[in-house]
Amino acid sequence: MSLLNLLKPFKLGNIELPNRIVMAPLTRRRAGEDRAPTPMNAVYYAQRATAGLMISEATQISPQGLGLPQTPGIHSQEQIAGWQLVTQAVHDRGGRIFLQLWHAGRCSHPSLQPQGQLPIAPSAIAPREEKALLTSGEEVPFVIPRALETAEIPGIISQYAQAAQNAITAGADGVEIHGASGYLLDQFLQDNCNQRTDEYGGSIENRARLLLDVTAAAIAVWGSERVGVRLSPSSTFQDMYDSNPSALFNYVVTQLDRLNLAYLHIVEPRIKGSHDDLTEKKVQLGVRHFRPFYHGTLITSGGYTRETGAEVIADGDADLVAYGRLFIANPDLPKRFALNANLNPYHRHTFTGGDERGYTDYPFLDLMLYNH
């Protein structure tokens, strides 16, 4: 199949993309003081601005939304100013960037929360898999979170709306709602951790309500063509599962299909967090499954190569392909794909936390053109 599939331009709403190669949202844990982006972060994103579209790392909507140390927010003036550095650098290189809006929910720790409070969740159920990461670098078991009161939920939706507004001020080109990976909106969706009895729990329609309300709030700020949503229907990361995942996610995707979004972003079953998941899964809800339910733009992500990315577009299952680890190690990934050039290997131990090593120092094909 032709690699031209990946390199063809694409119209995303009213944004012209020069190619169909997306930089996936990647938590790198290199934010500065007050969890604000820094000039180093601006260099990192600008280096990768030849992507058709960039999606920022997960960015918390409020102090309560924090789930990991050194991750950026979009709720303070310092953070907005930091993101302005990033978006300006990206735009100066001709790039386009959506800001991913994130609330970690139960996947946090009291030491990361305002006044040391418990993390919040749909129900008081802790994830049994994975660990909470402390500022010290220590990993400890997740605590039992506090179940949100029904009266608190409009405030959460308002925080998403304000974060969406702040993303405009920060100069982003749109926002992606993080509904994946076991974080707050995913926690409300799936019945292993949502055992509520109010209008946000019980039936599939009720459990999907918060995601849809948050999406509507972002659309009210941006317009539908500048809002995307990310889902991971097959992922068990952070102890996620549902008793009827096909019915749940078919419903969610059908509802999102009505909203004329910029895109729907589906994480493939073979990814669990930042790792490949090679275990045999009962749930295989990838982008091909959802194509009949979703008539807008579909982004797929999850361990794609140059060849498999071209293939999924040729097959009509997706319109755009997001790359994570390959973009970490290859800032000029579209050029390398076009030339079928060798790819730099990535160094997993530098993925999260640290300095410019493993962040802005991966070599370009033509270092003379990208002199930092």
Angle, CA of 357, 83 and 51, to the nearest 5°: 65
**If you search the block for the tokens 């790792």, which residue do you land on?**
275
C-alpha to C-alpha distances, 169 to 90, 165, 174, 222, nearest whole angstrom: 15, 7, 11, 11
- The C-alpha R_g of the chain, in whole angstroms, comes to 19
Question: 296, 262, 327, 325: which is closest to 99 by C-alpha?
Answer: 262
Q: Which two tokens stand for residue 256?
A: 């999102």
Q: How far apart are CA 241 and CA 253, in angstroms?
A: 17
**Annotated active-site residue in 183, 263, 323, 359:** 183
C-alpha–C-alpha distance, residues 237 and 197, integer Å: 25
200 is catalytic: no
CA distance 136 to 318: 41
Q: Which residues are catalytic?
A: 183
